[in-house]
Structure 1
Amino acid sequence: MTRRLAWAQLEPAAYQAMVELDRFSATRLDPLLFELVKMRASYLNNCAFCLDMHVHDALKLGESTQRLVVVAAWQEAPHLFTEREQAALALTDAATRLGEHGVPDEVWARAAEQYEEKELIHLLMAIVTINAWNRIAVSTRAVVAPRG
């Protein structure tokens, strides 16, 4: 697969705007939760580039290989994730797959039980931002560089 557009080099201001959105949430959420949300959305959006990046970022933070693998099917292994993480992952799923009915009330209520209102804003911004990154990477065919 060939990259379609070197968007960040052609329009650095657009790239910087995305970086600033990312930085907003990164500085306000637990770093491991931030990476789990990014991985889950990237998995749902079939964004190999972002998935590769955030798996490696999470490993550097000390995340376990088991949780990195299982986040793709987190609902089948709830014992591996805290209640807060489960609520964040459920919100990530719903906000990423909006569909015609949006985020269900029960998903929002679950997140609202686990996070204060400002934390919900930070979480939602992280979800929105990784979805934007995914759409850019998939649309432009960002290439996953081989590792190792």
Structure 2
Amino acid sequence: MEPRLKKTAPQPDVTKAVNLLYKSAFSAGVPKTVLELVHLRASQINGCAPCADSGARSMRQAGETDDRLFAVPVWRETPYFTEPERAALALSEYATRLADRPDPVPDAIWDEAAKHFTDEQLGAIVLWIATSNFFNRINVTTRQQAPQVWG
């Protein structure tokens, strides 16, 4: 499958806006691992190869284990994730699949996340999930590919 656009880099104003979103999400006191996990999970759900690839590689470079990386799609069935991470992963799944149910993000999902994170941190997590979905939609729509890595 060929990419529909050869270059998908946004205009300079968009890049500035995305950098502000990144700064806001990553400065709210949420552990970086949690933000990386919600990004990876949203990207897997949306079938975004470049984001899933870069997210997993970034996490591995930061010292994440293969056990946890390989288990993200089945996080409920593994012992590898903390309760706060599980709450964030569930929130990521529900916030990514908004059209799949009449109550897109049920109170039980939100309340579980609220047990582990402050309002400011929850806002940052939601912002990062939305930002991940933003990039997923651009990449999937334009058929961007994960980079080929050999060796």
Confirm or deny: 8 A CA contact 1:8 1:14 kept in the other structure. no
Q: Which residue matches 1:133?
A: 135
User: What is the CA–CA distance in structure 2 between the aligned matches of 1:52 and 1:39, rounded to whole Å?
Assistant: 8
Cα separation, 1, equivalents of 2:105 and 2:117:
16
Determine whether 1:143 maps to 2:145: yes
Separation of aligned partners in 2, 1:26 and 1:145: 25
Does the 8 Å CA contact 1:39/1:50 hold for their aligned counterparts? Answer: yes
Whichever residue aligns with residue 57 of structure 2, its letter is: H
Shift in Å, 1:83: 0.5
User: Match for residue 58 of structure 2?
Assistant: 57
- Maintained 8 Å contact 1:42/1:130: yes
Inter-partner Cα distance in structure 2 for 1:15 and 1:47: 19
Judge conservation of contact 1:52–1:144 (CA < 8 Å) in 2.
yes
Taking the aligned partners of 2:134 and 2:98, their CA distance within structure 1 comes to: 14
Q: Deviation of residue 22 (structure 1)? A: 2.4
What's the CA shift for 1:27?
3.2
Name the stretch that deviates more: 22-31 or 136-145: 22-31
What TM-score, normalized to structure 2?
0.90
Letter paired with 1:42: S
Residue in 2 that maps onto 1:48: 49
Q: Which residue of 2 aligns with 1:89?
A: 89
The residue type equivalent to 2:84 in the other structure is: R
**Residue in 2 aligned with 1:69?**
70
1:40/1:92 contact within 8 Å kept? yes
Unaligned runs of 5+ in 2: none
Superposed displacement of residue 12, structure 1: 3.0
Identity of aligned residues (%): 37
Structure 1 match to 2:80:
80
